Chains A and B, each alone.
Chain A
Amino acid sequence: MIFDRPDSVELLNAVNHFLNEKIKDEVPPHLAFKLRIVENVLNIVSREMALGEKLSNDVVKDLRELIETDTANIKDLALLIKEEKLDLQNEDLKNLLVKLSKNKITVDNPNYSTLKKLVD
């Protein structure tokens, strides 16, 4: 990257800090609710930029091992399940779906109760 610091994640974190520390207490209740959503959205973007590539590659690697092709992606997996071309009882498939779900929620909402329960 040719850009200076703060990098994109650091910039987002600064915005989030500003919203949380300076704006949150100034807005009426119905906007406070929306402001919380805005903060969540910024956090998703920030986590996706920091972790997204690694979490995606991790799933795609397992997927390609499972179906033994070098180019398969998540859409291909969805189609193979839809057409019942994979054994739905296969433990590796189930494990892959678990990993896919865990990795997605790690970016979208790492505090989500089910993820926390499964990690503990």
Chain B
Amino acid sequence: MIGDLLIQGGQMLVVLALAPLVTGVVRKLKARLYRKRGASVIQPYRDLARLFRKEAVVAEGASWLFRAAPYLIFAMTWVAAALVPTFASGLLFSWSADLIAITALLGSARFFLALAGMDVGTPFGGLGSSREMMISSLAEPAMIMLVFCLALVAGSTQLSTVAEVMLSGVGLRVSLALALIGLMIVAVAENARIPVDNPSTHLELTMVHEAMVLEYSGRHLALIELSAQLKLLLYISLIACVFAPWGIAPVGAGLAHMPLGIAAYLGKLAIGAVLLAVFEASLAKMRVFRVPDFLGAALMLGLLGTLLLFVSRGL
């Protein structure tokens, strides 16, 4: 029990501590791919420290929602990130570490972010919120479909169980390959990366995520940035946990397993960051109205994967 509590606590701290680093590494890699030197990988930590020190300027006419939203968003994203097994699967909250719960937590966080974007009444906030809602209305069904596909293979939507089933060997399955591609598409869209959104743009008219948070400053902005970084880490961890669960300390494993688990986890994060950076550097952003096609592909992959599983097992 105490061991589980330690692991759970450690996991929560690890994701929080590593999230800015992953973003920093992705930025650094992208800069290197563009033949630039790039900022240090710890720059996101410095940015967060700077933002936390700064005064938060709140627009006139902003309601309580605008002030409360950053805390809500951060709390929900952090809890969601804490539910994904990273280096050990014996989490105290394991009973609740359900893929559907994670999807719901992220969905709620986004709901508040979109509301906050519209709260101040600037045109960019509304523009960003409407685009975000369009994207999420396509990404969430795709995500749920992919969850079903995984659940059919593993017999559970609990991530610890999924990871263990995967580790025990389910063989190569077409459905899993489809689910992996689908999940990557959803991850790109959910994290506002190229080609769906551009995290480093200065063009107000093209922004999605950035447009919603344009009015935020100081600690509010810091919390939102940290949430975005946590979300990126969450998706990389999720994909790693389901499709590459090697090295994760199994339930009931002693502390001796932990170093291996942590090393494996760091390795997976590094691979995820490299893949993301290369993917982003080689693409232009797509037109806003192409995004449905892109996410539609994820939905279809999820659906196909689920159907194939039914067909192969028989009803």
Is B truly associated with A? Answer: no
Question: Could you tell me which A residues sit within 8 Å of B by CB distance?
Answer: none
Question: Could you tell me which B residues sit within 8 Å of A by CB distance?
Answer: none
